[in-house]
């Protein structure tokens, strides 16, 4: 464990960072336990996001439940009836937030039993990355350790996804942690909080692309809009979702129908008020496994916060 006097970058309280990390892990394990064949994705999201709110936290981002060739950013839609199916490979990615401190961790659940080696590759990649992290190490070296762990199992790392720095109200801050050796000589600093986040695939393509579907957004700030529903949504965002990403379904209280909700969001996006996070996918037939932990960089090693 890190010494209580270790100073986090940005002078953030280590006790709060550890607290948020621990509850992020607890919420992730709750979500993992609920991922079963026949269960609705929306029921998992409602339960786990609600768990945070019941305990004095808020979501750092909407619960991600990305299935099979979806690598990231699937969160249930408004009135979503999608259920988990036999054979699904489910990436569960989530984190808690409190006072701007953000947690982030992920695990993969195999509902068919056919992808254990792929999951193991992602888990071993996290372990390899964590073992490499310390102050002064180059991020390309961390990426090399991750890549070697994945390819050793016969799989490929997804090269345009990776880990990242975590700062106050900023989940993807500063440093990027590659999942392969990209030769980046940026060095890690003592006190940084970072996420180690390998994605492994059994497919031939190593780069994800954006799909046409987007359910997660973040709010930049108020802009002039004409449509009444867009103004109503913007007011709700300004009051309650200024900092962290939000799910479209969280706005059901301000839109009477799906058409109203998505029309308002579209107008706000076109006006420059929103950033979009579309679902990231590989070609149909490819499978993706993800594993992620958040760590504190120390002088000679690192400590896992999400545990």
Q: How much of the chain, in percent, has pLDDT values that exceed 90?
A: 93
Distance CA(230)–CA(266), nearest Å, equals: 9
Structure tokens at 55: 């305990």
* pLDDT tens column, 16-64: 999 999 999 999 999 999 999 999 999 999 999 999 999 999 999 999 9
Distance CA(101)–CA(105), nearest Å, equals: 14
Structure tokens at 262: 């998505």
Which domains are assigned to the chain? Answer: 14-210+284-304 (3.90.230.10), 216-276 (1.10.10.10)
User: Which pLDDT score, from 0 to 100, does residue 255 have?
Assistant: 86
* pLDDT tens column, 118-169: 999 999 999 999 999 999 999 999 999 999 999 999 999 999 999 999 999 9
Which candidate, 156, 143, 252, places its Cα nearest to that of 204? 156
Do 306 and 24 form a contact (C-beta atoms < 8 A)? yes
Which candidate, 272, 222, 214, places its Cα nearest to that of 246? 214
Do 69 and 118 form a contact (C-beta atoms < 8 A)? no
User: Which pLDDT score, from 0 to 100, does residue 147 have?
Assistant: 98
How many angstroms from the chain centroid is the CA of residue 225?
30
Binning the chain into helix, strand and coil, the percentages to the nearest 5 are: 30, 25, 45
Tell me the torsion sign for CA atoms 176, 181, 182, 187.
Answer: positive
Q: Tell me the backbone φ, ψ of residue 199, rounded to 5 degrees.
A: -120, 125
Structure tokens at 198: 């390998």
**Residues with catalytic function:** 93, 104, 164, 172, 197, 292
Distance CA(168)–CA(4), nearest Å, equals: 19
- Cα torsion 118, 278, 50, 221 to 10°: value is 140
Mean pLDDT of 244-267: 94
* pLDDT tens column, 155-204: 999 999 999 999 999 999 989 999 999 999 999 999 999 999 999 999 99
**Using 50, 70 and 90 to split pLDDT, how confident is the model at 11?**
low
Tokens 């270790």, located at residue? 6
3-state secondary structure of 96: strand
Averaged pLDDT of the chain:
95
User: Which pLDDT score, from 0 to 100, does residue 13 have?
Assistant: 87
Q: What pTM value is reported for the model?
A: 0.94
């Amino acid at each position: 464990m890190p010494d209580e006097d270790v100073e986090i970058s940005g002078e953030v309280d280590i006790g709060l960072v550890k607290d948020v990390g621990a509850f992020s892990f607890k919420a992730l394990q709750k979500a993992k336990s609920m991922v079963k064949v026949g269960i609705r994705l929306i029921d998992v999201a409602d339960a786990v996001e609600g768990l945070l709110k019941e305990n004095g936290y808020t979501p750092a981002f909407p619960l991600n439940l990305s299935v099979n060739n979806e690598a990231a950013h699937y969160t249930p839609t408004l009135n979503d009836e999608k259920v988990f199916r036999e054979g699904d490979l489910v990436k569960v990615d989530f984190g808690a937030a409190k006072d701007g401190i953000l947690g982030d961790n992920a695990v993969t659940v195999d509902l068919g039993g056919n992808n254990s080696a792929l999951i193991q590759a992602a888990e071993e990649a996290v372990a390899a990355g964590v073992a490499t992290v310390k102050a002064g190490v180059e991020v390309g070296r961390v990426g090399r350790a991750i890549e070697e762990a994945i390819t050793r199992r016969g799989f490929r790392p997804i090269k345009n996804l990776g880990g990242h720095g975590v700062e106050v109200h900023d989940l993807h801050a500063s440093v990027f942690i590659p999942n392969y050796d990209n030769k980046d000589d940026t060095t890690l600093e003592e006190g940084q909080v970072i996420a180690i986040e390998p994605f492994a695939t059994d497919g031939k393509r190593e780069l994800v692309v954006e799909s046409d579907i987007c359910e997660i957004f973040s709010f930049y700030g108020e802009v002039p809009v004409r449509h009444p529903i867009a103004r109503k949504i913007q007011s709700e965002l300004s009051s309650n979702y200024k900092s962290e990403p939000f799910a479209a379904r969280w706005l059901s209280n301000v839109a009477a129908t799906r058409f109203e909700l998505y029309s308002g969001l579209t107008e706000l996006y076109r006006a420059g008020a929103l950033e979009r996070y579309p679902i990231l996918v590989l070609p149909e037939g490819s499978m993706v496994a993800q594993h992620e932990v958040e760590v504190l960089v120390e002088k000679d090693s690192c400590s896992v916060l999400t545990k």
